[in-house]
Structure 1
């Protein structure tokens, strides 16, 4: 989930109702145009396995040393090849002000409490307290001059001063003045400073009791930042020796508990500091996200290395009080190990000495998706699509992990209802908390790849167990289940039906059916207006957010199209449980809402759905994509709206989620794989498979070729960047929609009844010449393979369905094509053969009630 740190997705299409046909016999799968030979022989592993990304074991080693700084010898020792030695001489003592020195300033923040409820102070005195971890923070952003004045009780002879500042409030232009007893005299002027630690020499030594620093420009002043000075030393202080460090690359994003093997250390308890990042771009001395940083911590993990060495596992906790602390689990690709320590941690550890390292590894905690664990798989003639499918699967594996108190999101997310259970987290590094909107996508990915459906069930059940009395269902456990989102209760409905469709867990359906009734019949009616549409702002929902915490109000197409999908899915759930009256009522309401959407939110001038009925005119990817997937849009509207998006939102890295910047400043540059999934699915379902594949390649190709590679990002921003900088999660479950898009839509296989009791197979080849795959079901695997032929053989499809199931099959036809099932003609080129029940619609011949077993359907000219 973005920012707060959310999500969404549409549900499976309902198979067309057609005349029944009993298809007898079973034939072995055949291809008119064969795929790779290795896929058809027993001489080697199935060819799809070459794309699997997970590590081979739970002990993961870094693959290379990216960089070193300072005094480091034999850095490959960190890879287990000998011993790496980091050495740092003790720094010279810093000059100190006389006892009783004070400081005042033009302004300062009074301070506040962090998320750990510890006070933060930004007083002027922090600049002379000898603690480099505290700082003065002026209170007037971009207001100059901002001045800091230091007063000593006795005269001090100064050759100059040294200013230590924060990188996000570093003074660029400033003067240094001293008091001669009657007036201020400027001793030095600095312009264009770019050093966090700046020694400022005077023309000649000066004896004075007062020093004033006048700042006229900060490093970040155009952004309205504040001056932040950590320390002012009475003298010229040379920069400390560069901290020796080794930066390691694990080759891809991984998640778990780092381990370091120390061969020994000097006897002064030298410290090591660890910084983690998913990308080199955001790797600094602080992690690009760490849970203690959210709580006001230092943003690094620390350890005091004992003289005898030993193996240290990075686990959450502190050595003493709040000193020498670590977070434990991290999601990252790059690890920077520095011989360094916080000044406040002395004397438990020191920022100098010698440390010897002879190995680094990671205890990989997420689901380990090795080839043998795949219960479903996909492969096609397009190697890029294949790789994106398995990249997304690996991304989802990284977020499939046990919910543990020590490594979940710190913002009130821990909960007894999930502790110790397998869940689908939001992201590998953050948020480490399950959100139901994300599960709308990551759940489908889970069902199609591995036997881990319980991870989705655990979250869906837990959220239902925390349903509010008025029927609203929380989006996640964060903030003790109180985060107010408007759309996520609908994703709980659709995700629940998905879970039942793919797993057949009717006990879950029966147990939580009352929750479904309450959210649809109590809460959403309370936010429905006179037009029959959901309107954010009613019933106190003006401050509610959505998957991206967007400031949308009133009648919004996305909310209402999602509502239609939720009502249809709820009706299907009700029918499966024998609640016909509920099903009829929800189907009728879905139709009413669809009609209202088309009456009030369709923009005929543009040929696309409005984002909102109020405010500036704009058109959003989420609402238009979902309107097609949910069946709100007519075929003509679907074509028009998708064409509009293709022409007005296409970027080299996907399709932007807005067509202008009236809602957010980067609406035309921001891309979410989350909202791109229904856009892509809509293109497949409306006969635009080529357009769907093009969007997949731009979006997933960009992520595979940038950033950490392999894994799928939470969001993409201007120019293809991480949309929220280093805070962005580069391995996010809600971005894995390429898996269901390729399996359910391109390959064409979906469940239509609980547990695949019924299913639909309707390929959408686009530019792909052949595809095959397997879908796990409670009855056994459902396998599908098809080939686009040449010459007279136009298309060949083989479906092997497990016992206890039946389904429908649709194959593309054109002209006077003849369709045969297991060698028997069912369509003679212009009409159905008597008794076959074949139906021609939308360029496909469809057969229903296809029995279990293996069946081959061919299309010839």
Structure 2
């Protein structure tokens, strides 16, 4: 997702030569020049005092406290003690014995999931008999998720008097809407209809007592869960069971946080009461079960357990078990809401029981996020548009949550732990999951880091580790998951572009030199092995039919997204090659990039629609990812860019962003699913194509939606139909790959980018649109690069740039479609038709000043 203007696509060495070869001519101050200097100074002085710290979301505190009590249930005394001074007490009486069905009672069902055999009564079966076996640990699980109605029928050998029944369900399969009917000897008679149920144990009272030998429960809707909408009923009790209500307190931390929960207990009763913790990023998916825990992958309980002692103690929730293999916890969590319940798993008895008394004096979180107080920022952004400002700092906070040390206990549990990463600072993909550094995520979150807190070792550690695990054929793994074997087709290209970014922003050419052989193997060995006779990458060649991509999409053949990204990677690699003195490699890669770009335009441009095809194979559709990157990578001509962007605006716009496909032929929700990850290059493309206002409008729909919906502030992994969580409770609500609004605003709207390693050369090209003014600092190894611009006040644009010593760059200012005069520090550099200084050039929409040296400069653009 690199930058695309002609200015930004120039190789490192060309920009360096232009900058270093320029000279600055000094002239005596004339009255006209003095007047221009005064007008420029007045325009900049008109701006309000800097207020960017107002938008900062992070904190330097390592301990974070909840901000309010969201709800309570059962016997809870002084719940507000957990957000202030005081002691909160949870109490629950021991339940009475449950009624039982007569011996010989059986059950049948419309279907049941039977991976381990079926109705055999064992704890590993999912047959209907589990609902009447008297064992609450077993359950009936219907076979087909999201398929209704699903029914369970109980048959007793003798008639039973029933005032009602009680349904005990699994917290990950609660029946929401269901009916209860009894058999009167000739017909089924509906005794109760339940809607909107969320209770794990639900007593259903009949209008009057019924004597019957058969009962049928018909489910028409289940509560959404992290495992799909299955029905999971553990027991049907023959009677109305009124157990003492579970005692719980739900705490709200105000925004998504990440780390280790810590609870200070004031003691507990002697009967070993247990405490269960459930976590969720949203209220929608807050139940007795967490919206996600790492133990979910192994069929765990979905909660963290602890049994406090009778004496006062402080417990930190870390991965492990308190009593042998009982009373276990997962440790680190990303969440906004924490539900603390007096409860225990049956399997944890006698070490923990679901009743007794527990006193809690304090709840906090040992945060593992990168500290993010205003004083930790090395770069910042501010503009006249408050909403844009807030989105920039929200995204920065999101990135803080995923910047953390790689620890075996906290990462993706599916064989992602790696001794070569343990103990190192990395950029994970999400706060709650997968908590594994994926290079596609680093492609965005790395830029966000470089522009905010500038701790580049977090990106370097990931990039270097993945290169160190490169396969012999040149393929680079996307992450450590699966012992570095997850087969993704596109992610080695993201490794190339992310490595380029890392060197551009940090100047670490030693990294580039060390891993240059890996770059060659990726581009000259592996990708040529999956290139077809058209000169295009084609998924399916060389055994890649089963490879995935960033969204594990079932795409095959010549895909625009893969090939446009290939063009960008080849150009980025050429820049690295030139910086390291490998001119022949640079020339070869640039030539290949031009060849691939030509093939994309020949075989994948859909002239009828005016946009690039998603794939040359299968149904006709057009992807946001391929079209956006084709423009950013310079594959598209200006006319093609305008046409493609117009099509995306018309065919993919949703109230919550732009969908990643224009129809549903690839996946069932393609025209409704929004990824900030693929929206970022489209937003870039709009800025770089002169459509700043449409870029801003898309930002506001996408980031405005995420900001204004629970959990607020943080940026979501993906958005589904009607603005929902696209993968339900499993969706990560704080995801680094969704933070592209930071580089979009700093690099594209403010307009400052590195063009040589470590900002040795840079470019400033504002894209203001309707924004009145903007300013910011970009951290560089040489010091801050400061940019401020404002529109109006007698000028088309007034721009101030302060560049650190040892750097130089090019400045491109918009003309607003007018014939303009451009002054630099009061001296005319462009007189409306000819260059007078800085080798100024015009492309019709911008005047570019070349070779601007370090120091402070003011550029004023006025209409003639």
Question: Which TM-score applies when normalising by structure 2?
Answer: 0.90
Q: Does 1:197 align with 2:208?
A: no
SS in 2 for 1:544: coil
Asked if 2 retains the 8 angstrom alpha-carbon contact of 1:32 and 1:795, the reply is no
Asked if 2 retains the 8 angstrom alpha-carbon contact of 1:201 and 1:236, the reply is no
SS in 1 for 2:861: strand
Q: Does 1:70 align with 2:70?
A: no
Aligned residue runs from structure 1 range 439-518, under 5 A: 439-518=442-521
The structure, 1 or 2, with the larger RCO (C-alpha pairs under 8 Å, 6+ apart) is 1
Distance 1:785 1:139, change over 3 A: closer
Asked if 2 retains the 8 angstrom alpha-carbon contact of 1:276 and 1:288, the reply is yes
What per-residue deviation string (whole Å, max 9, x for no partner) do you get for residues 405-463 of structure 1? 11111111111111111000011111111110011000000111113110101111111
Distance between the aligned counterparts of 2:265 and 2:426, measured in 1?
34
Distance between the aligned counterparts of 1:749 and 1:22, measured in 2?
22
Asked if 1 retains the 8 angstrom alpha-carbon contact of 2:126 and 2:139, the reply is yes
> What does residue 800 of structure 2 align with?
798
Distance between the aligned counterparts of 2:499 and 2:149, measured in 1?
57
Q: Does 1:782 align with 2:782?
A: no
1:543 offset after TM fit, Å? 1.5
Asked if 2 retains the 8 angstrom alpha-carbon contact of 1:536 and 1:554, the reply is yes
SS in 1 for 2:426: strand
Distance 1:802 1:666, change over 3 A: same
> What does residue 857 of structure 1 align with?
859
Which residue of 245, 262, 279 corresponds with 1:276?
Answer: 279
> What does residue 30 of structure 2 align with?
none
Asked if 1 retains the 8 angstrom alpha-carbon contact of 2:191 and 2:207, the reply is no
What per-residue deviation string (whole Å, max 9, x for no partner) do you get for residues 502-543 of structure 1? 111111111111111111111111111111111111111111
Aligned residue runs from structure 1 range 464-613, under 5 A: 464-613=467-616
Distance between the aligned counterparts of 1:687 and 1:244, measured in 2?
58
Which residue of 292, 305, 308 corresponds with 1:305?
Answer: 308
Distance 1:371 1:204, change over 3 A: closer
Distance between the aligned counterparts of 1:254 and 1:222, measured in 2?
23
More off after superposition, 194-203 vs 477-486: 194-203
SS in 1 for 2:413: coil
Distance 1:413 1:112, change over 3 A: farther
1:327 offset after TM fit, Å? 1.1
Q: Does 1:172 align with 2:164?
A: no
> What does residue 60 of structure 1 align with?
64
Distance between the aligned counterparts of 1:150 and 1:36, measured in 2?
82
Which residue of 839, 842, 861 corresponds with 1:840?
Answer: 842
Asked if 1 retains the 8 angstrom alpha-carbon contact of 2:412 and 2:433, the reply is yes
Distance between the aligned counterparts of 1:600 and 1:445, measured in 2?
35
Distance between the aligned counterparts of 1:436 and 1:273, measured in 2?
35
Q: Does 1:347 align with 2:340?
A: no
Which residue of 351, 375, 378 corresponds with 2:378?
Answer: 375
Distance 1:831 1:454, change over 3 A: same
Distance 1:144 1:848, change over 3 A: closer
More off after superposition, 81-90 vs 452-461: 81-90
Distance 1:201 1:504, change over 3 A: same
SS in 2 for 1:857: strand
Which residue of 686, 709, 712 corresponds with 1:709?
Answer: 712
> What does residue 33 of structure 2 align with?
none
SS in 1 for 2:257: strand
> What does residue 5 of structure 1 align with?
none
SS in 1 for 2:371: coil
> Unaligned regions of 5+ residues in structure 2, if any?
28-36
Distance between the aligned counterparts of 1:587 and 1:188, measured in 2?
76
1:783 offset after TM fit, Å? 1.1
Distance between the aligned counterparts of 2:250 and 2:109, measured in 1?
40
SS in 2 for 1:803: strand
Distance between the aligned counterparts of 1:86 and 1:471, measured in 2?
58
Asked if 1 retains the 8 angstrom alpha-carbon contact of 2:192 and 2:204, the reply is no
Distance between the aligned counterparts of 2:144 and 2:669, measured in 1?
27
Question: Which TM-score applies when normalising by structure 1?
Answer: 0.91
Distance between the aligned counterparts of 1:157 and 1:860, measured in 2?
91
Asked if 1 retains the 8 angstrom alpha-carbon contact of 2:105 and 2:154, the reply is no
Distance between the aligned counterparts of 1:205 and 1:667, measured in 2?
50
Distance between the aligned counterparts of 1:150 and 1:343, measured in 2?
27
Aligned residue runs from structure 1 range 96-495, under 5 A: 96=100, 108-111=112-115, 120-139=124-143, 162-166=166-170, 168=173, 170=175, 172-176=178-182, 189-194=190-195, 196-198=201-203, 213-220=215-222, 228-233=232-237, 235-495=238-498
> What does residue 635 of structure 2 align with?
632
Distance between the aligned counterparts of 1:703 and 1:217, measured in 2?
33
Distance 1:644 1:214, change over 3 A: same
Aligned length: 831
> What does residue 4 of structure 1 align with?
none
1:764 offset after TM fit, Å? 0.8
SS in 1 for 2:43: coil
> Unaligned regions of 5+ residues in structure 1, if any?
1-8, 40-45, 179-183
Distance between the aligned counterparts of 2:752 and 2:832, measured in 1?
25
1:805 offset after TM fit, Å? 1.3
Distance 1:492 1:345, change over 3 A: same
